[in-house]
Structure 1
């Protein structure tokens, strides 16, 4: 995963100056959870909304994004009595077409990748690229035995929330399947985010339109 991650041409994602606080006309993430996840299972909706509330508080206090933070959200997402542990066996997805290995340093490598979602250090990518990359880090490191897609979604929202950004629609970010072996898929996710962000900005500038 780490070697493939480095082949993604993140520099192709333009820095269009959209970084900065964005207040949406509605809470698109919570709305999508209620409509999409709630239709599948009320418990799934409840868990994701609890995770969403917790990540908002974590973002407000400037928490560091790492596995320890993820497992706190995941406890609510999966309704487990204790925070979820990092998986200790290889994992599979897409009916076995994708395999995620495990090594003694897998968790440490995930933490190192997630740390790059911050602007600390002076050399960072635009927000869209950082949010997309963190989301896919969770998808393809696959740290949990279950609920990794939900964890990845919350991760993306946290990266945005930490910089005061929220969206009034998240549909494109949740309805598309991405391939672990295709570097261009990462850029597609970033561009979907850009599309939602532009629409959110328009709505904020013209409320009621």
Structure 2
């Protein structure tokens, strides 16, 4: 799509649901990852202390509070649900409630439109349940979950931060933590299966770096973007 607004009748969420089925998540060419992976410095904490604080100290403080809840929930071994995601989001936004959106949502300055139907929330919950699917490698599950949150766009605000927290939760469930999260700030498109697979490769690279292993060449193939689909973390 081009221009400042989504074309009439377009539904980027439907595009993502199609792409999600097209990608061979279990067969992606990414090295297997097993925990524990504990970097010298926690990437989310470093992000909050650096770029996020430079942009908005209070917003960074709330993101860090959401991340603390993510770590605690991962330690408890609970499954990823919308209720869990909403609990983190209340901390991130500093609000008493974080309900599922009640209308169509837009991102990328209106170029992507995510239509709301009677099935949207149920479909999203089903996708979240697949974040624990053992037949899919960890980094692919984490990347897919990130994109699920980004393109289902469940909240009125802060979906980019929600996507980041969902990704790190999936990894933390297997005691894998990232030493950096800045490279995740790349623009992804709902109708792009190559980009979806590339995100899984990027997560694999970040995990290898966090474990102190060489990442190899060609690690940053996607162009940097201004946000995490819905707002910077």
Q: Does the alignment pair 1:187 with 2:197?
A: yes
Which of 157, 164, 172 does residue 146 from structure 1 map onto? 157
Unaligned regions of 5+ residues in structure 1, if any? 204-209
Which of 116, 140, 144 does residue 130 from structure 2 map onto? 116
Could you tell me how far 1:63 is from its partner in structure 2?
A: 1.3
State the match for 2:142 in structure 1. Answer: 131
RMSD across aligned positions (CA): 1.3
Could you tell me how far 1:15 is from its partner in structure 2?
A: 5.3
State the match for 1:99 in structure 2. Answer: 113
Measured in 2, the distance between the counterparts of 1:47 and 1:4 equals: 33
State the match for 1:85 in structure 2. Answer: 99
Task: Check whether the contact 2:30–2:200 (CA below 8 A) recurs between aligned residues.
Answer: no
Which digits, 9 at most, give the CA deviation of each residue in 1:137-166, with x for residues without a partner? 000000000000000000001001111010
Which of 32, 52, 58 does residue 47 from structure 2 map onto? 32
Q: What is the SS of the residue equivalent to 2:110?
A: coil
**TM-score calculated relative to the size of structure 1:** 0.90
In the TM superposition, structure 1's runs of 4+ consecutive aligned residues that sit over 3 Å from their partners are: none
Which of 7, 15, 24 does residue 9 from structure 1 map onto? 24
Alignment size in residue pairs: 198
State the match for 2:224 in structure 1. Answer: none
State the match for 2:90 in structure 1. Answer: 75
Measured in 2, the distance between the counterparts of 1:15 and 1:176 equals: 19
State the match for 2:33 in structure 1. Answer: 18
Could you tell me how far 1:35 is from its partner in structure 2?
A: 0.9
Could you tell me how far 1:18 is from its partner in structure 2?
A: 1.9
Measured in 1, the distance between the counterparts of 2:139 and 2:51 equals: 23
